[in-house]
Amino acid sequence: MPGSSSPLTHLDPTRLVLPEKPALEGLEAKWIPRWEADRVYQFDRTKTRDAVYAIDTPPPTVSGSLHVGHVFSYTHTDVIARFQRMKGKAVCYPMGWDDNGLPTERRVQNYYGVRCDPSLPYQPGFVPPAPGKQPISVSRPNFIELCAALTREDEKVFEALWKHLGLSVDWSMTYATIGTRAQRVSQLAFLRLLQRGDAYQVEAPTLWDVDFKTAVAQAELEDRELPGAYHRIRFARPDGGAVEIETTRPELIPACVALVAHPDDERYQPLFGREVITPLFGVKVPVKAHTLADPEKGSGIAMICTFGDITDVTWWRELSLDVRAVVQVDGTLRPVTWGEPGWTSMDADRAQRHYDELTRLSAAKARVKIVEQLRASGDLIGEPRPITHAVKFYEKGDRPLEIVTSRQWFIKTLAYRDALLSRGKALEWHPAYMQSRFENWTNGLNGDWCVSRQRFFGVPFPLWYPIDKDGRVRHEAPIVAEETRLPIDPSTDVPSGYTADQRGVPGGFAGDPDVMDTWATSSLTPQIVCGWPDDPDLFARTFPMDLRPQAHDIIRTWLFSTVLRAELEQHSLPWTDAAISGWVLDPDRKKMSKSKGNVVTPMALLEEHGSDGVRYWAASGRPGTDTAFDTNQMRVGRRLAIKLLNASKFALSNATPQGPVVYAVDRAMLHALAQLVDEATRDLEAYDYARVLQRTEEFFWRFCDDYLELVKGRRYGEQGAEAAGSANAALAAALSVLLRLFAPFLVFVTEEVWSWWREGSVHRAAWPTRAEIEALIADPQAAERDRQIFEWATTVLFEVRKHRSEAKQPLKVPIVSVSVTAEPVAREWMSVVEADLKSALRVQRFDVQDGEVRAFDVTGYDAPAPA
């Protein structure tokens, strides 16, 4: 029998504790430790894969500071995690710290005054001195220890913020990208790639940052608009005459190896296969044809240098040209002896004179110098024409990238392009259109992934190389570490079969000096979290994971590389769904960032608006959509939370007796709620959390403004015990359901209210269902009639309130009578809700008559009741 026996409405009056004046203040401090003590968010790893929901949380970079953008996107993930937990899933929701890579490295150098030298041996018990003027050189293991020590402090701050925000992370699963486990996974995965031939090393032209002195990958590039100039330069032809080219990089003329024009370009067809002579340096270079040359650009014929940009590399490779590299790792022009092999000149002395003035200058300074030389020699036609053009930069760098030939490790990517594209199609993207970013990027790849970096703080390659008797390092024959030894650091650890004193000597060995690209480790977060390959039991329960949440700016890096690694290692997607968050924009619609100085401290926001208020704002941002930073929305969220406190207090006070839900408005409210539950469930399963919050909020305000007002008098017993019982039962049920619907969003206030009358955490309570609500409704057949009656009641509420407002009459003044004209069926509706309406509106009498057009007239206001 529906009614008081339902667990949905169960309410033990002896247990109920209602605060006199409920408030939000202090709820974070109250509930965070309790959740920890009760292990509310602990992952239950006894569950099998189908009962697990696993999240591949983005590890924030701890050397940076958390900003409001983090709060925004991590809230989205938390809402989903909480929903899945309430749906009964064992939620695997770890936190990672990205303490790997350049940002940490730079910070440690400055903080401790040290410099990493991988050739030094490890010094146990090393304590950094107070930072002095002269940086102290330390070994790589020592350097990494310092990085770990510094990031540990950062991580504490991050953890405190995440907890204050109410993230339902299982903190026992926390990992760090430079931690032992991540290093082991990273090195092991690399060795397996090597075994299968998916990792290879090659000496080749590579994108190079001249300040960091490291190779960088295509994914780390960005274009920046810079002023430059077209220089029109004359190349002489041996038969007399000349060809004019245009270039923005005249300093690379000594590195010129050919000219190239489009095969269909009639102006230059007679030159194909012939040679021309470079100005200043007198080098004979061939004129070639290639379809990439654009007849519209410049003079239609281009100078190919080794190497000015990526196109030069393409031309150089496809046309089998010579190499004449001049830019060295620090971005300066290297010394060259003209006349030696590879540097043949028709006038070596003249070439040397010109070149000596350029040697050891940076590219920018060499450009100025060579323009003077060209002007003096008459090879500069006219004056340089200033332009603005896009130049490639390393995203963290300050100077344009150069292309430098060096030995680097690569992971095969191009060979898997088709497989990756189909994985991208199989992945469920939220929002769906984000898939096109992935496809764009994948289709645009122009090389394999360069994963080696000439840096110190990172995961080292688990490799050594033999040194032959002549002292030559034999890179082509790497000595691979045994998997059981991993992780290792080849700068300190010694390969099996060697002794430490053989390091760096002929007949001995040398450790690989490089570290892996930070993405080479981050791309393995699913494997790190899921226990691959050391915990196959956990792996079977969690992999492939369910969700990758992340922002859209790192689709080409983190998302792409993770899909690649799972393809290479597991031949599967790493997760089924990807939820892409937008950015937080400041009111000027620019991305909020530290450099712009417009970042607000997240903790201050949480303290001012309450975590629930901030979460409300964050959860209002739809998936993939950039959202304006808006403290006003946080205030709205805070008000909603306060309203929830007060409405709950009302619903739970005088909440007995309870009885069967027999009143039409009660049933109608519950029906509408059941409908809301269905929609909320459907939308959360589709990752549309913002819609759920909006709909639930909308229902809740109407619930407060109309339903609560309508049943208030009845609850006070104005219509007898049975009438009160129906309202009380409906109220308790509605509150239980609403608290659970709000729980993923407003985590603190819902837990607080839940604790007033329920056992356990609301965050472990079952997600509400239509069935549990409908079970309460005594007469489900009457649903449509109930709905009409409720709608009629709200119409009357609105019309009479309007009259009262226009008459500026306070509510304490009773209305003598309201004459209502409406369709005939309204008489029947009115008879059902008349008592509730009279009480809520302070109306003494309703006179209802039939009519075509609805009309509501107040016939008079009584005198105020005597005080």
Find the binding residues for RNA in span 704-723 (CB under 7 A).
704-705, 708-709, 712, 716
Q: How distant is the alpha carbon of residue 184 from its chain centre? A: 25
CB of 19 to RNA, least distance (A): 10
Size of the site for RNA (CB under 7 A): 85
For RNA, give the closer residue by CB, 263 or 860: 263
Residues 264-283 that bind RNA (CB under 7 A): none
Rounded CA-CA distance 846/857 in Å is: 10
Look up residue 93 and give its two tokens.
């929701």
Question: Which of 664, 680, 657 has the alpha carbon at shortest distance from 781?
Answer: 664
CB of 247 to RNA, least distance (A): 3
| Selected range binding RNA among 370-378, 521-529, 762-770, 794-802, rule: CB under 7 A | 794-802
For RNA, give the closer residue by CB, 200 or 798: 798
For RNA, give the closer residue by CB, 630 or 834: 630
For RNA, give the closer residue by CB, 210 or 710: 710
CB of 59 to RNA, least distance (A): 21
How deeply is 293 buried, as exposed, middle or buried, from its count of CB atoms within 10 A (0-12, 13-18, 19+)? buried
758 binds RNA (CB under 7 A): no
| Selected range binding RNA among 44-52, 154-162, 440-448, 773-781, rule: CB under 7 A | 440-448
How deeply is 338 buried, as exposed, middle or buried, from its count of CB atoms within 10 A (0-12, 13-18, 19+)? buried
CB of 605 to RNA, least distance (A): 16
Look up residue 366 and give its two tokens.
């060499």
For RNA, give the closer residue by CB, 91 or 724: 724
For RNA, give the closer residue by CB, 10 or 552: 552
Amino acid identity of 394? Y
Look at the block and give the residue holding tokens 């009409």.
788
Residues 22-51 that bind RNA (CB under 7 A): 23-24
For RNA, give the closer residue by CB, 62 or 256: 256
Amino acid identity of 597? G
| DSSP for 212-240, written as a single string | TTEE--GGGEEEEEEEEEEEEEEEE-TTS
- Rounded to 5 degrees, φ, ψ at 239 are -85, 15
CB of 129 to RNA, least distance (A): 42
**Position among 44, 275, 553, 779 found at the interface with RNA (CB under 7 A):** 553
Question: Which of 558, 699, 424, 425 has the alpha carbon at shortest distance from 73?
Answer: 558
CB of 815 to RNA, least distance (A): 13
**Position among 99, 105, 154, 246 found at the interface with RNA (CB under 7 A):** 246
Phi-psi region of 839 (alpha: psi -120 to 50; beta: other; left: phi over 0): alpha
Residues 441-456, buried b or exposed e (16+ Cβ, 10 A)? bbeebebbbbbbbbbb
CB of 475 to RNA, least distance (A): 28
CB of 625 to RNA, least distance (A): 5
CB of 100 to RNA, least distance (A): 21
Question: Which of 455, 457, 397 has the alpha carbon at shortest distance from 210?
Answer: 397
For RNA, give the closer residue by CB, 298 or 526: 298
Residues 621-650 that bind RNA (CB under 7 A): 622, 625-628, 630, 632-633, 636, 638-639, 642-643, 646-647, 649-650
Rounded CA-CA distance 673/699 in Å is: 8
Look up residue 758 and give its two tokens.
């329920």
**Position among 163, 249, 423, 667 found at the interface with RNA (CB under 7 A):** 249
For RNA, give the closer residue by CB, 114 or 676: 676
CB of 704 to RNA, least distance (A): 4
| Selected range binding RNA among 50-58, 441-449, 465-473, 530-538, rule: CB under 7 A | 441-449
Three-state SS sequence of 128-181: CCCCCCCCEEECHHHHHHHHHHHHHHHHHHHHHHHHHHCCCCCHHHCEECCCHH
For RNA, give the closer residue by CB, 170 or 379: 379
Which spans in 483-554 are helix H? 518-522, 525-530, 536-542
| Selected range binding RNA among 60-68, 346-354, 488-496, 793-801, rule: CB under 7 A | 793-801
Contact criterion met (CB below 8 Å) for 592 and 629: yes
Contact criterion met (CB below 8 Å) for 511 and 503: yes
CB of 798 to RNA, least distance (A): 4
**Position among 45, 399, 412, 552 found at the interface with RNA (CB under 7 A):** 552
Rounded CA-CA distance 740/773 in Å is: 13
Three-state SS sequence of 710-778: HHHHHHCCCCCHHHHHHHHHHHHHHHHHHHHHHCCCCHHHHHHHHHHHCCCCHHHCCCCCHHHHHCCEC
How many of the other CB atoms lie within 10 Å of CB of 511? 25
> Alpha-carbon torsion 642, 645, 646, 647, what sign?
positive
CB of 591 to RNA, least distance (A): 7
Rounded CA-CA distance 150/600 in Å is: 24
Residues 453-482 that bind RNA (CB under 7 A): none
Residues 59-98 that bind RNA (CB under 7 A): none
| Selected range binding RNA among 115-123, 243-251, 333-341, 352-360, rule: CB under 7 A | 243-251
For RNA, give the closer residue by CB, 789 or 840: 840
Binding to RNA by CB under 7 A, coded x per residue (else -) over 555-574, reads -x------------------
CB of 694 to RNA, least distance (A): 6
422 binds RNA (CB under 7 A): no
Give the pairing of strands 242-247 and 256-261.
Answer: unpaired
Contact criterion met (CB below 8 Å) for 109 and 135: yes
Residues 604-623 that bind RNA (CB under 7 A): 622
CB of 296 to RNA, least distance (A): 7
Q: What is the DSSP code (8-state) at residue 460?
A: B
Residues 375-404 that bind RNA (CB under 7 A): 389-390
For RNA, give the closer residue by CB, 294 or 372: 294
**Position among 284, 385, 802, 854 found at the interface with RNA (CB under 7 A):** 802
Contact criterion met (CB below 8 Å) for 213 and 401: no
691 binds RNA (CB under 7 A): yes
Q: How many residues does the chain have?
A: 867
Helix (H) or strand (E) holding 307: none
10 binds RNA (CB under 7 A): no
Look up residue 604 and give its two tokens.
């201050």
433 binds RNA (CB under 7 A): yes
Cα→Cα distances 184→179, 193, 790, Å: 9, 14, 64
**Position among 164, 740, 787, 804 found at the interface with RNA (CB under 7 A):** 804
For RNA, give the closer residue by CB, 81 or 647: 647
Give the pairing of strands 52-54 and 90-92.
Answer: parallel
Residues 212-231 that bind RNA (CB under 7 A): 218, 221-223, 228, 230
For RNA, give the closer residue by CB, 308 or 744: 308
| Selected range binding RNA among 151-159, 355-363, 508-516, 810-818, rule: CB under 7 A | 810-818
Residues 578-607 that bind RNA (CB under 7 A): 589, 591
| Selected range binding RNA among 495-503, 525-533, 702-710, 728-736, rule: CB under 7 A | 702-710
For RNA, give the closer residue by CB, 810 or 866: 810
Residues 827-866 that bind RNA (CB under 7 A): none
Residues 287-346 that bind RNA (CB under 7 A): 292-298, 300-303, 308-311, 314
Amino acid identity of 249? R
